[in-house]
Structures are given as structure tokens and as C-alpha cells.
Amino acid sequence: MIETYHSLEELLIMADRDSVSPGIIACRVEAEESGSTVENVWNRMKRMLPVFRESVQKGLKDTGKSASGLVGGDASRLYNGSLRFLSPINRKAASYALAIAEANAKMYRIVACPTAGSCGILPAVILAVGEESHSSDDELTRALFTAAGFGKVVAEKASIAGAVGGCQAECGTACAMAAAAGVDLLRGSNEEMANAFALALKNILGLACDPVGGLVEVPCVKRNAFHAVHAMAAVDMAMNGIKSIIPADEVIEAMGDIGRRLPVELKETSRAGLAMTETGKKINAELLKKARCLKQ
């Protein structure tokens, strides 16, 4: 029987025992569970990096609107705009996250990590931090596996689906995974990764999933940018000795509990929140009218 993990505590114990990153453990476990080799699993993950970079470039270059007309061009505006309060690396992370989320809305290829609605957060943080720290692709891959290891526990113990747990399960999980990955890239300790993860996730608890018109565009695209910066804050906090009073595993449990308590209207049904504002309802009506015209 293979050794695996079902909590972050177990994952970090295994990593500390072998004096490796949690990402190395996650890669080994994935190889064993899938019946593949560590080399094959590693290379498969590594092939995600060119897709990340391609979706960033597509999102920044294509400044047109999505088919709905709701999003598009904001990534370029932020990336090329004047800088006032965001540091250069935070602007890069936010711009990259916007670019990837806009690319998703325009049907370009993206990696849903962990979901399409939150697809910009983790890649943006990994690429921005990686560029700042001059990380190699193998180091980026290790950080991706760390994120995957943390995300695996969330998927098992709570949920990563907005339809199940609200946007806290999507953007919240992606943000927390990104925070852990960022600490990994900067060679922080395993404990710091857990603290960054917990700090990021616990401050997004209760976030509703309320897409306007049922599309993963408003407010989803801009949420990616905000939560990329949120993850960066968690990295800095954790690596400066700031700890989460509530352990990471317990934060996951809390997120799962909140998700179960959220009304169905706030879980990707577009029946409450921003989707049911006057503007939200007007947009939905216009989208339905457009859809009927296309069918005729």
C-alpha cells in the first residue's frame, strides 16, 4: 500500500521527514497513485508552464471584448498603465491574472488550476514570483506540485467547486495554493507555506459565487487579479514570521462548513448577489436576447 496524505499536516510531516518540498512529495504520490513514473508526472506538470505564458501573452495582446462584451482589455490597461500604489511585482501578478482570466473568457487555451473561474491566480503568482526570483522551470514545476498537494487536500476535505462551496472554494483555494507556491519558490520553510496558505484562505471565507448572466466573466475576471495580490500579501506575511492562529487544516474544515451553509442562490446559480442587481439583471436580459437572435 502506497504512503499518501489526507491532510496538510500529513503532507508536511512527510516533506519534513525527507527534507524536501511538499511538491516533491505530491509528485511522488501522484506517480504512485497513477501508476506512472516520477519523471513522467513531473514532465506532464512542467508542460503547463508554456500554456501559462501563452495565455498571459494572448490576454495582454488581445484587447478586444469577449463574445458577451463584458470583459476584455483590462489586463493591458493595468500592465501598461501608471503605477501609484502597487509594487511592480504586484502589478505584474494582477495584470497576468487578468490576462489569463480574459483569455479564458475569449476561449483561448488556459489551465484550470484549480478551476476555470480561478484560472489566473496561481499561474500569475508563480510566473510573477518566478520572474522576480529568476526561478528555473524545474523550480516553477516544484512550486506547482506544492500548490497541487495543498489543493488535493482541499478537494478531498472541502471543495474546489463554486457550485458546491461558493467562490471561496474557487478563488479562495486558488489564492491559498498560490500563496503556498510563492513561499516554495522563495525557498521558505514548509511551516511558512502552511501559514501563507491559511492566511490567504481564511480571509476569503464566505465569498459568494454570483456570476452575472451565468458567465465566468463578471465579477470573476477581476476577482482573479485581486486574489493574486492577496496571495502575494500572504507570502510576505508568512515569510516575515506572521502565523495563522487557526491551523491550515482547520481553515479548510471551516471553508467546507461555510460552503455547506451557504444558500444555493450564492453557489454559481446567478440567483443572488451581483447577478441580481439591477445592472446584473439588465445584462442577463440582454444576453438572453442576443442568444435568441443567434438561434433565429
pLDDT grade, residue 138 (50/70/90)?
very high
Task: Report whether 143 contacts 83 (CB < 8 A).
Answer: no
Residue 3 in any domain: the answer is no
Per the listing, cell 495584470 goes with: 95
**What does the mean pLDDT of the chain come to?**
97
> From start to end of the chain, where are the E strands?
none
Cell readout for 135 is 526561478
Tens of pLDDT, residues 211-225: 999 999 999 999 999
CATH number at residue 261: 1.10.4100
Tens of pLDDT, residues 106-123: 999 999 999 999 999 999
Check residue 9 and give its pLDDT: 98
Percent of the chain at pLDDT > 90 equals 96
Check residue 1 and give its pLDDT: 60
Check residue 151 and give its pLDDT: 98
pLDDT grade, residue 294 (50/70/90)?
confident
- CA 235 and chain centroid, separation: 14
Q: Cα dist. 21→2, 141, 151, 189 in Å?
A: 19, 11, 15, 8
Cis peptide before 211 (omega within 30 of 0): no
Distance from C-alpha of 267 to C-alpha of 168, rounded to nearest angstrom: 10
pLDDT of 296 over the 80 cut: no
Residue 209 pairs in a beta bridge with 267
pLDDT grade, residue 146 (50/70/90)?
very high
Check residue 295 and give its pLDDT: 75
222 CB neighbour count, 10 Å cutoff: 18
Residue 267 pairs in a beta bridge with 209
pLDDT of 244 over the 90 cut: yes
Tens of pLDDT, residues 165-206: 999 999 999 999 999 999 999 999 999 999 999 999 999 999
Check residue 169 and give its pLDDT: 98
User: Is the pTM value of this prediction over 0.85?
Assistant: yes
pLDDT grade, residue 251 (50/70/90)?
very high
Residue 21 in any domain: the answer is yes
Could you tell me the residue range of the domain that residue 159 belongs to? 8-295
Cβ partners under 8 Å of residue 133, min gap 6: 185, 186
Mean pLDDT of all residues in 18-42: 97
Residue 2 in any domain: the answer is no
Count Cβ atoms within 10 A of the Cβ of residue 11 and give its class: 0-12 exposed, 13-18 middle, 19 or more buried. Answer: buried
Task: Report whether 167 contacts 208 (CB < 8 A).
Answer: yes
Q: For 158, which DSSP code? A: S
Angle between helices 48-61 and 137-157 (to 10 degrees): 90
Residue 209 in any domain: the answer is yes
Check residue 149 and give its pLDDT: 98
pLDDT of 292 over the 90 cut: no
Residue 1 in any domain: the answer is no
Residue 244 in any domain: the answer is yes
> How many distinct structural domains can be found in the chain?
1
Tens of pLDDT, residues 271-291: 999 999 999 999 999 999 988
Query: Of 156, 143, 200, 137, nearest to 174 (Cα)?
Result: 200
Residue ranges in the chain assigned as alpha helix (H): 8-18, 22-34, 38-46, 48-61, 74-80, 88-105, 121-133, 137-157, 162-165, 167, 173-185, 190-202, 220-239, 248-261, 278-295
Task: Report whether 255 contacts 165 (CB < 8 A).
Answer: yes
